[in-house]
Chains A and B, each alone.
Chain A
Amino acid sequence: MRPTRSSRAILLAIVWFCLVVLSPALAAEDESGRDFFEAKIRPVLIERCYSCHSVESSKSKGGLKLDSRPGVREGGDSGPAVVPGRPDESLLLKAIEQGGDIEPMPPKGKLPEPVIADFRRWIERGAADPRDVPTRPGSTLEDRWALRPIVKPKVPVEGRDRARNPIDSFIYKRLSEKRLEPAPEADRRTLIRRLTFDLLGLPPTPEEVDAFLADPALEAYERLVDRLLASPHYGERRARRWMDLAHFAETHGHDQDRIRPNAWPYRDYLIESFNRDKPYARFVQEQVAADVLFPDDPVSVVGLGFLAAGPWDESSLRDIREDSIDRQVGYYLDRDDMVATVMSTFVSSTVHCARCHDHKFDPITQPEYYGLQAVFAGVGRADRTYDPDPAVHKLRLDLSTRRKALRDKDPALMGTLLSPEIQDEVNSWESSIRATLVRWTVLDASELKSASGTTFEKQPDLSILAGGQRPAEETYTIAASTDLAGITAVRLELIPDDRLPSRGPGRNENGNLHLTEFEVLAAPRSAPGESKSVPIARAVADHDQAGWGIAGALDKNHGTAWGIFPEVGRPHEGIFEFQDAVGHEGGTTLTFVLRQTFPVNHPIGRFRLSVTTAPKPVRLGSPGGPLAGLLDIPPDRRTVEQKRELAAIYLAETLDRKLAELPPSRVVYAAAGDFKPDGSHRPPGGPRPVFVLKRGDIRQPGAAAIPGALGCVGVKFDVSNQADEGARRAALARWLVDPGNKLTWRSIVNRAWLDHFGRGLVDTPNDFGRMGSPPSHPELLDWLASTFLEDGGSLKRLHRLIVTSATYRQSSRHDPKGASIDAENRLLWRMNRTRLDAESIRDAVLMVSGRLDVTMGGPSVRHFALGPGVHVTPTVDYSKFDWDAPGAGRRGVYRFLFRTLPDPFMDVFDAADASQLTPARNASITPLQALAMLNDPFILRQSEHFARRLEALGGDPESRVRAAFTLALGRPASHDEARDWAEYASRFGTVNFCRMLLNSSEFLFVN
């Protein structure tokens, strides 16, 4: 549902309040210099002048650029635009005062007088203009390596004999400058363990190790790489890394850490995208604007889960008052998260540093930051539906468009209703429904009573619309009189209505209702005092909410009720059959008591009562209201209007049926412009206004932000229609993947490098600005970026390129010379040794114990016992989980991610904290890790499984120890190791040995 005009008016009123009422008072504190410029001048320049007078405007009119101080001071063809201290000599002022002499500006109307006064005052006081104050030493283009165009460098000649591909030549060049030697190639055991963990996040099986050792082929290694890249586990591994970048979790975070039951499809989307090697440009665009850019590929909207992956402040954005400043703060912070996530992940830019002022180190202005906020001003985080099958997607779109046109009485559609084709269909439909028709007589209520203050409004079709303040508990009592005798049943119709929340038919925010108890009384019309309860034998409904069947309205139990969720916004009916026929001679007064007390806040919104004398069982699905009336008129006596009306009813019914017959839509928690409202968390209905907040302060809004990206990148941000929120995101998506966007392509190849070496060529993968670290091998970075771009953005081929290099295949051996010259191994004189990350530890333990469950996809596995919390956030007890439960052995990527209650076992091994972007994991060593590996129930249980697996092999303790070493460490035990541990295992049991082996450094590290 779109917000009403009035709610937008309220929003505008708030904004006006902030602008007009708050800012003068606050601006008074500091009306000089820079602040004055920021508050009064810059916003006007941006809004009214930049479109023609800036570097970005295609051709600056009159050669005048107003987007920098030199531009203003030097002016254009007519001379300096501003002479500080001399307003009357300043052409800019003359132009905006529009007093002749000079072309009046802006051309489309004069600025308001107070604004012109501000300009005069600004110039009088020296025309302070901080836009190029040289406070950023060295911030020249040359210094900003990441903004330089990517030019594919020539591959150096160094070490040509040893290089396996160009990567090595770049590495060898730097090594030889330092007189360092690369390490020799690692042995095959090391290589397969390294590669399997690296590409799949799992250890190789002993069989895989043996096969690789025995493979005589020259390209055995490359074949191994190809096999691993083709494994579905590859996508799982890459997806987990991407989830770190996106700070993905399945709860909101904050104080109301509610579960998002439909977040997981995004995780599956990632796995599939990586496994199918989706071209990177496409992958990026889908995650920002799939709905706009790829409407024919409906499943791609799942990628929008990226924008919604981070935390969401339910208190601020759903529960507190909509008219509060805190709500406005909530919107800004929510968009800030989206901006930071997109810009950190895709372009390694710290644009979020420009929230309170221009970026201190990088050429990013504060208006640009808010321009990016404006890009996301029209989306919220919510469940959005989609049809994975493009045909179904199209059909649903078509049917619902027509359904809407019908509802809106679209003249084009209404014009077709009398066509012979449609009238033929109407005729055959009419004869088919006549056969099964139950005749219902609509009751005209003579008395409407409410227990808790609801007001009633009778509609032309005799239905009743409930209104007024919605009470928590309510009981409607309705009386009506009828002449019918032999009444066998009463029907309660629930009718949707646009005036109800979520179109009703209930009055709850979600459109649902609950009928706790339904009671009927009958009395002779002449003796209303003799009313008697009418026993109801049976009830049926066209739809029962799961767990809330219509029988609940008959059972005299005030803790059960009938409901219709999630089928809200549609008509429903419940039929109550009387045990014995009812009807007094001379008329009957029927009284209906509709108790709606449990669950609270679910009264009925619009309904109608009718009765019938049809024999039992009385069938569902007979028309009521206008249709019944129309059918009563013989076809040849119907007017044109009546024919049209009947055809409209037919069409509505047909469209509704066809819609209902479609396979159910799927749901993903994602960014959405339109979604089902939840409390006051409502679709924005178009972009919300975003302002350049002075000092980031909500109480000091400046000019309206203009959707855009970063000027310093030099790629045009091309938005077709500013008012269309989708067009804004589409423009950003296109901007991101433009081949000229140096940041995007450098960023992703650096991430690929980091994945394999534990460290990027740029050590700050989310910051390619001046505060980040410069690349250790700039030429290699650019060579990789241009190769990747030329290659169509294939991540698999990029990974293959890197892992087949001699650099990657080096041993991790120590070298005193290397260590003394380059202790951090930035030059890669050896391979880095890595500690397994949390998920790899977990998955490796499961693989070794024989309990790994390789099932892919679907809802996440909750490794905890879930209980009700004090408020919204539930209680979560990880220690209560049964490690033999179904799904317990699934890979770490499928575990449920609770934002404020993370899994302590994973936590202790530096799993990503989903409250923040994690471009690279830490790999700490702590005593808490020792305790977890020794005592966590997961490890203890897997040790037992591991032991059972070994014992099933038969043999003596020593052969079990040997088997355990090949499984866990990928190598045979030495003679001494086998003997020592066998002796231990014989004394204390295999399981104690298994527990210790899982605690070995060798198990947790990869050479």
Chain B
Amino acid sequence: MMLGPATRRDWLWNVGGGLGGIALAQMLGQGELLAATGTDRPRADLNGGLHHRAKVRRVVQLFLNGGVSQMDTFDHKPELTKRHGEVFDPGEKVEAVTSAPGRLMKSPFEFKQHGESGRWVSSVLPNLAGCVDDMAFLMALTSRTNVHGPASYLMNSGFLTPGFPCLGAWISYGLGALGDNLPTFVVLPDPKGLPYNAKGNFSAGFLPMTHQGTIIDAGAPEPIPDLFPSPSAKFLTPEAEREGLGRLASMNRRFAARNEGDSRLESRIESYELAARMQLGAPEALAIASESEATRRLYGLEEPATADFGRRCLLARRLLERGVRFVQVWSGAGGPSNNWDNHSDIPKELPTIARSVDKPAAALLKDLKARGLLEDTLVLWSTEFGRMPFTQGATGRDHNGGTSVAWLAGAGVKAGSALGESDPWSWRAASAASTGYDLHATILHLLGIDHEKLAVRHDGIDRRLTDVHGHVIREILA
């Protein structure tokens, strides 16, 4: 793909898109250049959407890494309970990717109906169970693969193979940031480790690098690399910095003047001013200590089991409040354990990981709602695939691309709704199945983007997040 040299205009859009971008561009006398661009830009009359009116301005995605066992969380299967211990014979070939299929296994957890919507939720998610009336469920979400790597790529970038831009990168590319002192797309990985595919999941692919996810490692001494110089560089002083940057700006201005007609040289000067704004904005956003005692309790910061995920959910809310467009919060590291990839022991492994996210995730929903942010924020719960109704080993479950559960909540979403149904064993989708493409199309739709129009030519193909697939899932939209 040839995007051509970055221009001042692109750059402003990338870092200060939306209304702010327009204002800034006009202020700088660049307004006329807007008309010259070929691609769609956010429109104020569409509430910042590109193609139609946006209902959602920002998105937070909770990505449960490893494949959440749907029949042990949200997909209640009485038939499975009845047939517990039987040989699984659905009448066609049964295949599991890492094991020989065992016998049918009922969920070891108790299911109850919750809320006015009466959604079934198992006992491992008691807090989220209290929020079902805010959620819209996709009860039969399928994947094209049963392998973590390709499946994680699929749910992030819409392709089974690496090298494609992920959802956050596309959103950044299409809409830019809401503010100008924080990155557009932020990733909060599990401190235990990066997910499957590591940073491949946050990649900008062939889009400009500026759209890739900025990782904030909230617990690290340096949460954003290179935001500040290392204290070991003793020669740096605030005065040397201030004075030096001033002289650097003049030198760069003289260079731009000597080489007129090159907007990139002006963008460089601007980039230092924006960098300075980020240095001010980011530490303030990360300062969760300033939150009230009640808030900290709400997110479970005082309990060891929930402290980490709670801190990151709270941080996500602070980032959204401050103009970050897309925040992705990961639960679980890549690998065979300490995540949702419960191959060996569902009764033991699942409650632990579920507990770590249940209270914080519910807190995030309640908090966003209380602050009015849910009016234009979308909250997502998703994973790469589901798990098998039969055992792997004694009490584990293998990967299952056949069906899984995701939910959405917030702006534009039909609260308390559910679409689709899996078969009696929760082995495969049975009716109203949806795909990751559909989910992506729906998210973009809520952001005011037609998923078929947000495309970039790369290696001969107009590439989009949804490849050649995807339908907006209107059944779950308000």
Q: Contact residues of A with B, CB < 8 Å?
A: 17, 247, 253-257, 311, 313, 315-316, 319-321, 323-326, 329-330, 333, 336-337, 340, 344, 350, 352-353, 356, 361-362, 758-759, 763-764, 766-767, 769, 771-772, 812, 814, 816, 819, 824, 833, 835, 869-873, 875, 878-879, 899-902, 904-905, 907-910, 913, 915-917, 919-920, 922-932, 934-937, 940, 944, 977, 980-981, 984, 987-989, 991-993, 995-996, 999-1002, 1004-1005, 1007
Complex alpha-carbon distance, A688 and B40, angstroms: 46
Instruction: Report the separation of the CA atoms of residues A910 and B230 in the bound assembly, to the nearest whole angstrom.
Output: 24
Least CB distance from B49 to A in Å reads: 25
Residues of B within 8 A of A323 (CB): 95
Do A759 and B255 have beta carbons less than 8 Å apart?
Answer: no
A577 to B4 Cα, complex, angstroms: 75
Interface contact B198-A944, CB-CB below 8 Å = no
- Residue pairs across A and B with CB atoms within 8 Å: the count is 279
Expressed in whole angstroms, the Cα–Cα distance for A472 and B97 within the complex equals 22
Are A324 and B97 within 8 A (Cβ)? yes
Interface residues of B in 264-289 (CB under 8 A from A): 264-265, 267-269, 271-272, 274-275, 277-279
A913 touches B148 (CB 8 A): no
Q: A319-B98, A767-B459 are in contact. Are A931 and B227 (CB under 8 A)?
A: yes
**Is residue B34 within 8 Å, beta carbon to beta carbon, of the partner chain?**
no
Task: Output the least CB separation between A841 and chain B (Å).
Answer: 13
- Which of A771, A989, A1002 gathers most chain B CB within 10 Å? A1002
The smallest C-beta distance from B403 to any residue of chain A, in angstroms, reads 16
Q: How far is the CA of A255 from the CA of B399 in the complex (A)?
A: 15
B259 touches A988 (CB 8 A): no
Q: Is B261 an interface residue (CB 8 A)?
A: yes
Given known pairs A324-B95, A900-B200, the reply for A1007 and B162 (CB within 8 Å) is no
Of all chain A residues, which has the CB nearest B222? A879
Q: Are A996 and B460 in contact (CB under 8 A)?
A: no
CA distance A981 to B97 in the complex (A): 65
Contact of A932 with B226 in the complex, beta carbons under 8 Å: yes
Question: Given A320-B147, A934-B229, A1000-B248, does the pair A924, B209 have CB atoms closer than 8 Å?
Answer: yes
> Chain A residue with minimal CB distance to B279?
A931
Nearest B residue (CB) for A940:
B233
Interchain CA distance A257-B93 in the complex, whole Å: 32
Q: Is the CB of A255 within 8 A of B460?
A: no
What is B's interface to A at a CB cutoff of 8 Å?
2-6, 11, 14-15, 93, 95-99, 145-150, 152, 160-164, 183, 192-194, 196-200, 203-206, 208-210, 212, 214, 222, 225-230, 233, 235-237, 239-240, 243-245, 247-248, 251-252, 255-256, 259-262, 264-265, 267-269, 271-272, 274-275, 277-279, 333-338, 457, 459-462, 468
Contact B460 A772 (CB under 8 A): yes
Decide: B192 and A870 in contact? CB cutoff 8 A. Answer: yes
Q: Of the candidates B146, B244, B255, which one forms a contact with A324 in the assembled complex, judged by CB atoms under 8 Å apart?
A: B146
Given contacts A255-B149, A353-B460, A871-B334, contact A916 B198 (CB under 8 A): no
Query: Are A350 and B259 in contact (CB-based, < 8 A)?
Result: no
Asked whether, in the complex, the Cβ of A870 is within 8 Å of the Cβ of B333, the reply is yes
Closest to B152 in A: A255
With A759-B2, A871-B335, A900-B199 given, is the CB distance from A313 to B150 under 8 Å?
A: yes
Question: Is A984's CB under 8 angstroms from B264's CB?
Answer: no
Are A254 and B197 in touch, CB under 8 angstroms? yes
Instruction: Check A311/B460 contact, CB under 8 A, given A922-B208, A935-B228, A989-B240.
Output: no
CA distance in complex: A934, B97 (Å): 48
B3 touches A922 (CB 8 A): yes
Contact check: which of B205, B228, B256, B271 meets A930 at CB < 8 Å?
Answer: B271
Which residues of chain A are near B205, meaning CB under 8 Å? Answer: 913, 915-916
Within the assembled complex, what's the spacing in Å between the Cα atoms of A905 and B235? 22
Q: Which residues of A contact B95 (CB under 8 A)?
A: 321, 323-325
CB-CB under 8 A from B204, the residues of chain A are 913
Q: How far is the CB of A332 from chain B (nearest CB, A)?
A: 10
**Residue of A with least CB distance to B164:** A916
Instruction: Give the docked Cα–Cα distance between A767 and B463 (Å).
Output: 14
| CB pairs A–B below 8 angstroms (18 shown) | A253-B200, A362-B460, A766-B459, A771-B462, A819-B261, A879-B222, A904-B226, A905-B226, A909-B209, A922-B3, A922-B209, A926-B210, A927-B272, A931-B279, A987-B240, A988-B239, A991-B235, A1005-B259
Determine if A996 and B162 form an interchain contact, defined as CB atoms under 8 angstroms apart.
no
Nearest CB of B to A812, in Å: 7
Assembly CA distance A42 to B175 (angstroms): 45
* B194 and A873 form a contact (CB under 8 A): yes
* Given A926-B271, A930-B271, A1000-B255, A315-B161 contact (CB < 8 Å): no
Asked if residues B97 and A1001 are in contact (CB atoms below 8 Å), the reply is: no
* Residues of chain B with a CB closer than 8 A to A340's CB: 459
Assess whether B11 is in contact with A926, with CB atoms less than 8 Å apart. Answer: yes
- Best-surrounded residue of B210, B222, B260 (most CB of chain A within 10 A): B210
Chain B residues near A977 (CB-CB < 8 A)? 251
State whether A1002 touches B255 (Cβ < 8 A): yes
Closest to B148 in A: A255
Task: List the A side residues contacting B146 at CB < 8 Å.
Answer: 320, 324, 326
Q: Chain B residues with Cβ under 8 A from A814's Cβ?
A: 259-262
Given contact pairs A913-B163, A924-B11, A899 touches B200 in the complex (Cβ within 8 A): yes
Which residue of B has the minimal Cβ distance to A991?
B235
Residues of A within 8 A of B338 (CB): 870
- Which residues of B are found within 8 Å of A772, using beta-carbon distances? 460
Are B255 and A996 in touch, CB under 8 angstroms? Answer: no
Residue from A763, A987, A1004 within 8 A of B2 (CB atoms): A763
Determine the chain B residues whose CB is within 8 A of the CB of A905 once the complex forms: 226
Q: How far is the CB of A493 from chain B (nearest CB, A)?
A: 37
Residues of chain B with a CB closer than 8 A to A929's CB: 271
| C-alpha spacing A987/B6, complex, angstroms | 37
Sorted nearest first, the 6 A-B pairs with minimum C-beta distance are A350-B460, A916-B163, A871-B335, A255-B196, A255-B149, A915-B162
Q: Is there an interface contact between B461 and A353, defined as CB atoms closer than 8 Å? A: yes
Shortest CB-to-CB span from B113 to chain A, Å, is 36
Query: What residue of chain B has the Cβ atom nearest to residue A356's Cβ?
Result: B468
Q: Which residue of B lies closest to A833 (CB)?
A: B262
Q: Given the complex, which residues of A lie within 8 Å of B15, measured CB to CB?
A: 926-927
Instruction: Give bound CA distance, A352 to B261, whole Å.
Output: 40
Given contacts A870-B192, A926-B14, 17 further A-B contacts (CB under 8 A): A255-B149, A255-B196, A320-B146, A321-B95, A326-B145, A329-B150, A340-B459, A763-B2, A870-B334, A902-B199, A913-B205, A917-B459, A927-B15, A932-B226, A936-B226, A940-B229, A940-B236
Q: In the bound complex, how far is the Cα of B6 from the Cα of A758, in angstroms?
A: 13
Which single member of B209, B227, B335 contacts A935 (CB below 8 Å)? B227
Q: Are A925 and B268 in contact (CB under 8 A)?
A: yes
Contact status of A254 and B247, CB under 8 A, knowing A766-B459, A935-B229? no
Complex: A920 Cα to B264 Cα, angstroms? 18
Contact (Cβ within 8 A) A1001 B197: no
Task: Decide: A940 and B230 in contact? CB cutoff 8 A.
Answer: yes
Q: Are A256 and B278 CB-contacts (below 8 A) given A833-B262, A1001-B255?
A: no
How distant is the Cα of A913 from the Cα of B214 in the complex, in angstroms?
16
Complex interface: chain B residues within 8 A of A350 (CB): 459-461
Q: Which of B164, B247, B260, B279 has the most CB of A within 10 A?
A: B247
Q: Are B97 and A321 in contact (CB under 8 A)?
A: yes
> Contact at A316–B149, with CB atoms within 8 Å?
yes
Structural contact, B208 and A924, CB atoms closer than 8 A: yes
The residue from A767, A904, A996 contacting B244, defined by CB atoms under 8 A apart: A996
A726 to B251, CA, bound (A): 59
CA–CA, A1001 and B160, complex, Å: 40
A944 and B210 in contact (CB under 8 A), knowing A311-B162, A350-B459?
Answer: no
Give complex CA distance A316, B150 in Å.
9
Chain A contacts for B199, CB-based, 8 A: 900-902
Known: A315-B148, A992-B236. A1001 touches B210 (CB 8 A): no
Q: How far is it, in angstroms, between the C-alpha of A336 and the C-alpha of B6 when the chains are bound?
A: 32
Instruction: Give CA–CA (A936, B102) in the complex, Å.
Output: 53
> Contacts A922-B3, A926-B15, A988-B243 given: A771-B460 contact, CB under 8 Å?
yes
Complex formed: what's the CA distance from A870 to B251 in Å? 48
A932 to B229, CA, bound (A): 9
